[in-house]
Amino acid sequence: MAAEGAKVDPMHQFTIEPMFGTGHWEIAGYNIAFTNSALWMALTAGVLLLFVAGGMKRELVPGRWQMAVEGFTGFIDNLLAANIGPAGKKYVPYIFSLFMFILFANLLGLLPLMLVGVHPFTPTSHFTVTGVLAVMSFAIVLIVGFWRHGLHFFSLFVPHGTPIWLMWLIPVIELISFLVRPFSLALRLFVAMMAGHVLLEVLSSFVIGSANSGPLWGSIVGVPSFLLMVAICALELLVAGIQAYVFALLTSLYLNDAENLH
């Protein structure tokens, strides 16, 4: 019975639930409940604002907080300079905000808050959240492209040197590839975060189940599972940063296509 009660559902952590009694809030038939996903996105935005505000002191001898903010800002500035050039400087605020929001959302979802009775939630493990971020970035690319180049932006789908006899095929392939970008951008982040969290939950169920089965199974299954879970946690911290970087990197590359169209 103890083992049955300790059973872990690896998908329960992704359940979106209304909070603060807002489950019945509706506008024009649409539910507008304030959910756990919205709460953790708000917390992520709040942490990001506090992080940036703490680094805006502009002291002559910067403290660690200011150095951290300036370090991340410089990192994004160098990323855009390498991928876009001098014109990339105007995108620093957006790419910095995008990178830091994803990074903080990923990291907050890994905090062991269950020890104090709080269930952490990772917004980036839901395709709706990553999809909105990707569509927003893709919309900026389109706006920049048509604003700077007008209808000449469509030449992006005809690579330089394309043979005449392939003019009917290459633009179609390039257009499909271009339209798939926001989907692949969102899917990559969503899958990486969801898979890692599911794996951690499965390993934790092994640890709990083996502990309830007695010392023999606890030593044979529980200890290796626990050690593997610790290693996966460390890997997840790395993945959290890598996925934020990849999202920012690919967005900067897409902006380069819109900014420096040849």
Residues 197, 36: Cα–Cα separation, whole Å:
17
Burial class (CB in 10 A: 0-12, 13-18, 19+), 199: middle
pTM above 0.85, yes or no: yes
Closest by CA to 260, choosing from 86, 79, 78, 76, is 86
pLDDT digits (tens, 9 = 90+) for 77-130: 999 999 999 999 999 999 999 999 999 999 998 887 766 767 888 999 999 999
Residues 186, 195: Cα–Cα separation, whole Å:
14
pLDDT digits (tens, 9 = 90+) for 28-84: 878 888 888 999 999 999 999 999 988 777 777 778 888 899 899 999 999 999 999
Phi, psi (degrees; rounded to nearest 5) at 31: -75, 130
